[in-house]
Amino acid sequence: MTKMVHLTIDGQEVTVPANSTVLEASQQLGITIPTLCHHPDLTPTGACRLCVVEVEGMRNLETSCTLPATEGMVVHTQTDKVVDSRRFTLSMLLTDHPNECMTCEMDGDCELQRWVYEYDVQWPEHSGARHSRPVDSDPNPVVLVDMNKCILCGRCVRACAEIQGRDVWNFSERGFDTLVVAGANQPMLDADCESCGNCVAYCPVGALFDKPSQGWGRATYQTKVRTTCTYCGVGCQFDLNVKDGKITRVTSTPEAPANGMALCVKGRYGWDFVHSDERLTVPLIRDANGGSKYPGFREATWDEALDLVAQKLTYHRDHSGPDSVGYLSSAKCTNEENYLMQKLARAVGKTNNVDHCARLCHSSTVAGLASTLGSGAMTNSIEDSTGDAKLYFVTGSNTTEQHPVIGIKMRKAIREKGVKLIVADPRKIDLCKLAVLHLQQRPGTDVALFNGIMREIIVNGWEDKEYIAERTENFEACKEVVMKYTLELTEEITTVPAAKIKEAARLLHENKPSAVFWSMGITQHTTGTMNVMSLANLQMLLGNLGVRGGGVNPLRGQNNVQGACDLGTLSNVYPGYQKVVDPAMKEKFEAFWGVEGLSDKVGLTVVELMNAAHDGDLKALYVFAENPMTSDPDLNHVKVALETLDFLVVQDIFMTETAQYATVILPSTCFAEKEGTFTSTERRIQRVRKAVQAPGESRPDWQIICEVGTRMGYPMHYASPADVMDEIAACTPIYSGVHYWRLDAGAQLAWPVRGDEHPGTPILHVGKFARGLGLFTANEHLEPREAPDAEYPFTMTTGRVLYHWHGGEQTRRSESLLALYPEPLVEINPDDADRLGIVDGDQIKLASRRGELVARAWLTDRVAPGLVFSTFHFPAGNANWLTGAFLDPVAKIPEYKVSAVKVEKIA
Amino acid sequence: MIRARILISSDSLSLSRGAEETKLAFEAELSRYGLLDEVQVAYMGPADRTDALPLVIIYPEGTRYGPVTPADAAYIVEEQLYKGRVVEQLLAPPEMLSGEIAHLPGRTGITYAQKRVVLQRAGSIDPTDIEEYIAEDGYFALGAVLSDFSPHAVVETIKESGLQGRGGAGFPTGLKWSFVESQQSAQKFIVCNADESEPGTFKDRLILEGDPHVVLEAMAIAGYAVGADQGWIYIRGEYGQARERLELAIQQAEEYGLLGDNIMESDFSFHIHLHAGAGAYICGEETALLESLEGKRGIPRIRPPYPTVAGFRDKPTVVNNVETLANIPPIIHNGVEWFRSIGTEHCPGAKVYTMLGDVNITGLIEVPMGITLREVLDIYSGGMKAGKTFKCAQTGGASGSFIPPEMLDVPLDYKSMQEQGASLGSGALLICAEDTCIVDLAYVLMRFFQAESCGKCTPCRIGTTRMLEILARMRHGQSSTEELLALEEIATQVQELSFCGLGQAAAVPIITGLRYFREEFEAHLAGHCPAEVCPLDKVNQPAPETIQHNYL
């Protein structure tokens, strides 16, 4: 119970918690006190002196933002003395501030301007020296710096340190000449800047501004539309600022539940792809004679294109069988659209050949967790797992680059609260700088590493015996295997020194609860499912499941990969993970959709669909906002598969690498142009709202899918995506309480939401696992499928970078992001490079048994000798020309993370 | 067999005046006479009055010579040590610090005089030799504390002594210690504030140069009292000599088991680290000091929490000034009664002052609390320089108040000064004669504050600049009545609003200057400098009517 104190402010009594400031107490009474340096997210500093108040019994005026409220305190916030002092402070600021409100981007939104207006402070014409500093003084492509306008409130300095954990900004010089500079007065990007723009978001004046939004009009002339980010699965919300039908800026809002004011570089600056000249605007049909700006395609009417698609899909369904048609759905699109896509495949196409890219990222997570715990998602919320954990065990997740806003929450807790961090990753990722321990295992040896750590825990008697006895089963079988992984054996397999394994076990024992986070580094292996089950073992062993600050937390990649899985665009389940092989479910959905003959056979997965196409068994494929020609493994194989298809329809916003093989291309809409919902990695269901009109004739995806279904003879009519969600709620138990009217009223819902009154479930498995008892599994180490050899001596592992997203379809069309990261880079250890005569920036060629890529070399110790790292953001340098389609036997996820390659310098 | 000993003052000033050459000359001359086996030559700490430096004292006679050049040294060896005759013409001026209580004329019944408490050894022992410190009862207090006192008893003793912080604010030291003592924390710190940067103040330097061990001993006692095992001395970057002496002293104390683990074979361990500042005045402010000590930009912190709760590395920390700490061992050694017998009831003990300005004797004195400025002026500083009359004093350094002639009889102690709207501050006493221009002096002082403002808060960062600009125009006779009012308004607001003491104090010279010498400011508006100091009309300035000051 927090102690409360009572005080009197301007004659009104108020009761506040004992750790409140006088400013907070005043705000509780609705009293406005002007502030500049204060921001509720940031540590108080008391620098600007604007928020002073008079306190009876105190000699001087006090700054209310720093003054603790105490029992019996009597405060006056509006006396003449107070007002005079505030006016003095404002006029002092104006004596060293340019009189540029007429042309300033922040006019109307500027906090200094607001208080100067409200306190009627006159412009001091000739009052002494003014600084004259260069405008746009930093080459950063997204942050505009004009330190003439800086009032030295230090909010940018604190935002960068306390929110972003980056310490780019600081004060230099002293006294009157004090100046905010990046690093040691360097360009921002040389001072560790990640271009997240959070400093801009916190700047009260026009000293920092979003460069791409310059000249697009002030806040007054903009409409703000609250929506959810289209990049990763963190589920950040922000406001799209719209003027004249164009997005002009992204502004963050303290009301965003997952991220607050923080955004990453992609969220804040990666929006300009929406208005790219390369957007598809009319339906296209393959025609050797051309007839559009795309060679080999002519423009078509919607009727013509939709009829052709419906006719082809129907023909192949009826002549070659329902399973000769495949449907690739999209984790970029909304829940409603994914629901409709699997409904189209199942109810109309009569096949379970519907899958999406979750297969390529977290299918092993879903398989591994569903079988051991009963539910295949992140068990905890972002808030509690990053906020209450004593230790983070981050493995195979480059969190600060791939889930940046979760990454910065980790950084903040590590820096401010001393949370311990263990990183288990073959690469020395950025987070390693903050880690107490970095376990740099050989790629593909995760099971052995986790077994080795668990053995140390058991040997020392550190396992949670009570928890194991009460809440789990099959521990002995697990233990039997684990005990084989002695320190010596584990070191031999993983190359991680025994001392570090011991240390990891000790840290996990001494710092409970600990939260485990992982991502593709764990899942994209032929042992992906076992990797995940091993992590579940570890957390059950320590009793870290079902508690705040613990959990197994797979960080989902795409903005809606969680939702796409939830809504059944997986070849084995209906919406809500209801199994297609379960006769009761078949019956339920036949009745619900009013159809007969739903398939009871598990369909083909992403890679299996490509293999079937390659072999001629799959005749037609409907690709909905996916791009297998960049994101699938072994692209040469995919290319042949796509060429072999009889009919390919691609529904997308750009002429993607895959669309080039299509017969019909349907122009669709992006996140900013339609209504819907996304489900974030923490199972939080959030609204996506239309801000601008889609270009040309392009249509929302949900309407296109409905048109195709209707033209195939199954009427699909909905007034709006809200209707679709109501249908989802009716057939999907975990979504049964999800409705737009709840979301639009501000409900924060994480599934399972078991009814219209149910508040949602931020933490899973509290008290009891979804499957009943948690299942321990026995997992043996298996070598990756492809080992380096004399011809292919390097191991290539793959991933992404902060500034780009997946196949780069959107980010390569964002001028801001391209300016920050213009071309693919291959990470190579300086020792290896030296041996091969490669210097930083050289063009190098990587080749595997399947293909090759050319990119520039980045010499860095992020990779150990013998390891190279490459991405799939750019078509030319795409790692997937090299990767192999070796699949995890359970989840069918390909082993992107280990390929044997050779490296050579291009003369 | 040593029959005589030559001690040479070795503070920074003495060294800059050739003390090292003088020492070499003594050694060369003694060698020439074959006396090296009989006569020992050593450095000692600083002497009291600056006009006698370098000072040489020859024992056992206690003969004081100064200033002594290398040539004088040769002569002294020949005369006194070879022939046994005192060289009358080279004798130093009489010692100011007799160590005895003197009765002052006209103040029957009350005894005022100098009283050596913290300076008892400075100037009489070799600060580079721990044995000499020990021989003068050094580390006796620490030993007594470790064997006879509970930690709480030490805190109580200091509380009862009534010792107040000598850094300027006069906060009760024992109370500060008790705050830290009561904090539950596995780690606590003692920080010695040796960042003495107040213009005109050099008392801490002379204590450190002359008697470094007294500070180390005090810190160890403080550590024992509050439960700290680590101490840091944050020393002004320019104090090279003091730093070297401290480094050596720490090393010697560790060798003797008087610092480090298990001091004097007790369970108590205490380690002292040195950290040199980098030239920022603001780092003398305790929270800015702590920021700087942590490796950050030296800017003041928000209080609360106070350092006693969250100080160095956010742990409970005692921050004490050098002079404050130097009082601790004598209090333990001589007892509370003894300490309280010196000074006044409300402000016990003695205080070290640095005298400077238009007086005959400048330098260091230590006198009981409660003596008046007039007594300092008349007795210790030998009165005003020939032909000059007293105009004002400034107490406490650049940030202190101006004291007009009518306030000369205010007792110098924290309480009395505060009651008069003045401050004792760091103990600098600047005496100004009638040929000092208040506007010019205010300008010089403001130039210091404007340069030293850390830039954190608006009023100090911009206000000091605006005040300096106005004062500059006034010195040039280019100001206006409106501007004088603006100056007063800015000064009032800067004092009211500034984040820390620097800004609050920056306005004091202007506010007190206007309070006592307003007519002098007004004369400058009319293009006249009564003291004939200011460079009127020598530089082109913007015409006063073009400058507007509509701050309100």
pLDDT in tens, B445-501: 999 999 999 999 999 999 999 999 999 999 988 889 999 999 999 999 999 999 998
The closest alpha carbon to B253, from B139, B125, B119, belongs to B139
Chain A residues lying within 8 Å of B465, measured CB to CB:
128-129, 175-176
Q: Over 90: is that where the pLDDT of A328 sits?
A: yes
| Average pLDDT estimate for A325-352 | 96
Instruction: Please report the pLDDT score of residue B540 as a whole number.
Output: 53
Instruction: Please report the pLDDT score of residue B122 as a whole number.
Output: 77
The closest alpha carbon to A45, from A150, A153, A147, A151, belongs to A153
For helices A487-494 and A498-510, what crossing angle results, to 10°?
110
CA separation for the pair A221, B348 (Å, rounded): 69
* The two structure tokens encoding residue A722: 């809200």
| Average pLDDT estimate for B268-282 | 95
**Polymer length in residues for chain B:** 552
Q: Is A585 left (phi over 0), alpha (psi -120 to 50) or beta?
A: alpha
Q: 3-state DSSP call for residue B144?
A: helix
Q: Over 60: is that where the pLDDT of B97 sits?
A: no
A557 confidence band (pLDDT: 50, 70, 90): confident
Residue A168: half-sphere exposure toward Cβ, Cα within 13 Å: 26
Q: 3-state DSSP call for residue A453?
A: helix
Residue B239: half-sphere exposure toward Cβ, Cα within 13 Å: 29
Q: Over 80: is that where the pLDDT of A285 sits?
A: yes
Instruction: Please report the pLDDT score of residue A64 as a whole number.
Output: 97
Share of chain B above pLDDT 90, in %: 55
Chain A residues lying within 8 Å of B464, measured CB to CB:
175-176
Could you read off the pLDDT of B414-426 as tens digits, one per residue? Answer: 888 888 888 888 8
B550 confidence band (pLDDT: 50, 70, 90): low
Residue B272 has phi, psi (to 5 degrees) of -120, 135
Instruction: Please report the pLDDT score of residue A162 as a whole number.
Output: 96
B107 confidence band (pLDDT: 50, 70, 90): very low
Instruction: Please report the pLDDT score of residue B105 as a whole number.
Output: 39
Q: Is any Cβ of chain A less than 8 angstroms from the Cβ of B181?
A: no
Could you read off the pLDDT of A769-782 as tens digits, one per residue? Answer: 888 899 999 999 99
Residue located via tokens 């060294």: B15
Instruction: Please report the pLDDT score of residue A18 as a whole number.
Output: 93
Q: 3-state DSSP call for residue A522?
A: helix
Instruction: Please report the pLDDT score of residue B418 as a whole number.
Output: 86
For B331-346, b where at least 16 C-beta lie within 10 A, e where not — what string?
Answer: bbbbebeebbebbbee
A876 confidence band (pLDDT: 50, 70, 90): confident
Q: Over 80: is that where the pLDDT of B124 sits?
A: no
- How distant, in Å, are the alpha carbons of A187, A257, A685, A746 from that of A751? 44, 15, 8, 15
Closest Cα in chain A, distance from residue B142 (Å): 37
Q: 3-state DSSP call for residue A868?
A: strand
Provide CB contacts within 8 A for A110, sequence distance 6+: A101, A104, A204, A205, A206
CA separation for the pair A340, A701 (Å, rounded): 10
Instruction: Please report the pLDDT score of residue A183 as a whole number.
Output: 95
Instruction: Please report the pLDDT score of residue A338 as a whole number.
Output: 96
CB contact under 8 A, B297 and A177: no
CA separation for the pair A839, A836 (Å, rounded): 9
* The two structure tokens encoding residue A549: 């600050």
Instruction: Please report the pLDDT score of residue B86 as a whole number.
Output: 84
B112 confidence band (pLDDT: 50, 70, 90): very low
| Average pLDDT estimate for A636-660 | 95
Indicate the Cα dihedral angle A553, A558, A559, A560, nearest 10°.
-90
Instruction: Determine contact, residues B238/B210, Cβ cutoff 8 Å.
Output: no
Q: Is any Cβ of chain A less than 8 angstroms from the Cβ of B497?
A: yes
CA A610 centroid distance within chain: 27
Instruction: Determine contact, residues B373/B347, Cβ cutoff 8 Å.
Output: no
Instruction: Please report the pLDDT score of residue B103 as a whole number.
Output: 37
Residue located via tokens 């899942």: A523
CA separation for the pair A267, A805 (Å, rounded): 11
| Average pLDDT estimate for B146-167 | 95
Residue located via tokens 């957390």: A539
Chain A residues lying within 8 Å of B453, measured CB to CB:
174-176
Q: Over 60: is that where the pLDDT of B98 sits?
A: no
CA separation for the pair A241, A221 (Å, rounded): 9
C-alpha dihedral sign at B82, B84, B88, B91: positive
Provide CB contacts within 8 A for B303, sequence distance 6+: B287
Residue A146 has phi, psi (to 5 degrees) of -135, 90
Closest Cα in chain B, distance from residue A503 (Å): 25
Could you read off the pLDDT of B340-392 as tens digits, one per residue? Answer: 988 888 899 989 988 889 988 887 888 888 888 888 888 778 789 888 999 99
Instruction: Determine contact, residues B76/B99, Cβ cutoff 8 Å.
Output: no
Neighbouring-strand partners of residue B187 = none
CB contact under 8 A, A88 and B459: yes
Instruction: Determine contact, residues B10/B45, Cβ cutoff 8 Å.
Output: yes
B101 confidence band (pLDDT: 50, 70, 90): very low
Could you read off the pLDDT of A188-219 as tens digits, one per residue? Answer: 999 999 999 999 999 999 999 999 999 988 88
| Average pLDDT estimate for B284-293 | 95
Burial, B108: exposed, middle or buried (Cβ in 10 Å; 0-12, 13-18, 19+)? exposed
Could you read off the pLDDT of A599-647 as tens digits, one per residue? Answer: 999 999 998 999 999 999 999 999 999 999 999 889 999 999 999 999 9
Instruction: Please report the pLDDT score of residue A668 as a whole number.
Output: 96
B106 confidence band (pLDDT: 50, 70, 90): very low
Instruction: Please report the pLDDT score of residue B46 as a whole number.
Output: 67
The chain A residue lying nearest B469, using CA atoms, is: A128
- How distant, in Å, are the alpha carbons of A358, A599, A698, A714 from that of A570? 8, 14, 27, 21
The H-or-E segment that residue B193 falls in is strand B189-194
Residue among A46, A93, A174 whose CB faces B453 most closely = A174
B536 confidence band (pLDDT: 50, 70, 90): confident
Three-state SS letters, A609-640: HHHHHHCCCCCEEEEECCCHHHHCCCHHHHHH
DSSP state of A251: E
Instruction: Determine contact, residues A598/A626, Cβ cutoff 8 Å.
Output: no
| Average pLDDT estimate for A256-268 | 95
| Average pLDDT estimate for B69-86 | 87
Q: Over 60: is that where the pLDDT of A698 sits?
A: yes
Instruction: Please report the pLDDT score of residue B552 as a whole number.
Output: 47
Share of chain B above pLDDT 70, in %: 92
- Within A654-779, residue ranges assigned H as helices are 701-711, 721-731, 740-744
Neighbouring-strand partners of residue B132 = none
Provide CB contacts within 8 A for A885, sequence distance 6+: A607, A610, A611, A632, A633, A634, A637, A894
Indicate the Cα dihedral angle A540, A546, A551, A555, nearest 10°.
130
Chain B residues lying within 8 Å of A45, measured CB to CB:
302, 456
Q: Which of A183-187, A292-296, B65-69 comes out lowest in average pLDDT? A: B65-69
Residue among B280, B469, B546 whose CB faces A129 most closely = B469
The chain A residue lying nearest B459, using CA atoms, is: A89
Residue B41 has phi, psi (to 5 degrees) of -115, 130
- How distant, in Å, are the alpha carbons of A267, A387, A760, B158 from that of A381? 20, 9, 12, 54
* The two structure tokens encoding residue A71: 């029992």
- How distant, in Å, are the alpha carbons of A39, A52, A53, A153, B207 from that of A35? 8, 9, 12, 10, 46
- Within A806-876, residue ranges assigned H as helices are 815-820, 830-835
Instruction: Please report the pLDDT score of residue B48 as a whole number.
Output: 64
DSSP state of A831: H
Could you read off the pLDDT of A51-94 as tens digits, one per residue? Answer: 999 999 998 999 999 999 999 999 999 999 999 999 999 999 99
- How distant, in Å, are the alpha carbons of A36, A49, A117, A205, B326 from that of A112? 7, 13, 8, 6, 49
CA separation for the pair B420, B512 (Å, rounded): 11
Could you read off the pLDDT of A722-743 as tens digits, one per residue? Answer: 999 999 999 999 999 999 999 9
CB contact under 8 A, A52 and B497: yes
Instruction: Determine contact, residues A673/A275, Cβ cutoff 8 Å.
Output: no
DSSP state of B405: G
The closest alpha carbon to B436, from B352, B542, B513, belongs to B513
Instruction: Please report the pLDDT score of residue B99 as a whole number.
Output: 36
Q: Over 60: is that where the pLDDT of B538 sits?
A: no
CA separation for the pair A519, A504 (Å, rounded): 20
Share of chain A above pLDDT 90, in %: 90
CB contact under 8 A, B297 and A171: yes
Chain A residues lying within 8 Å of B490, measured CB to CB:
88
Instruction: Please report the pLDDT score of residue A126 as a whole number.
Output: 67
Q: Which of A514-518, A618-622, B97-101, B178-182 comes out lowest in average pLDDT? A: B97-101
Q: Is any Cβ of chain A less than 8 angstroms from the Cβ of B418?
A: no
B47 confidence band (pLDDT: 50, 70, 90): low
Chain B residues lying within 8 Å of A97, measured CB to CB:
none
Q: 3-state DSSP call for residue A525?
A: coil
Q: Over 50: is that where the pLDDT of A443 sits?
A: yes
Chain B residues lying within 8 Å of A131, measured CB to CB:
none
CA separation for the pair A100, B204 (Å, rounded): 50
* Strands A169-172 and A179-182, bridge-based pairing: antiparallel
* The two structure tokens encoding residue A218: 């002030």
Q: Is any Cβ of chain B less than 8 angstroms from the Cβ of A66?
A: yes
Residue type, A212: P
CA separation for the pair A783, A865 (Å, rounded): 19
Write down the pTM of the prediction: 0.89
CA separation for the pair A735, A752 (Å, rounded): 6
The H-or-E segment that residue B523 falls in is helix B508-525
CA separation for the pair B164, B328 (Å, rounded): 11
Provide CB contacts within 8 A for B231, sequence distance 6+: B189, B190, B191, B192, B219, B220, B222, B223, B270, B271, B272, B273
CA separation for the pair B535, B100 (Å, rounded): 48
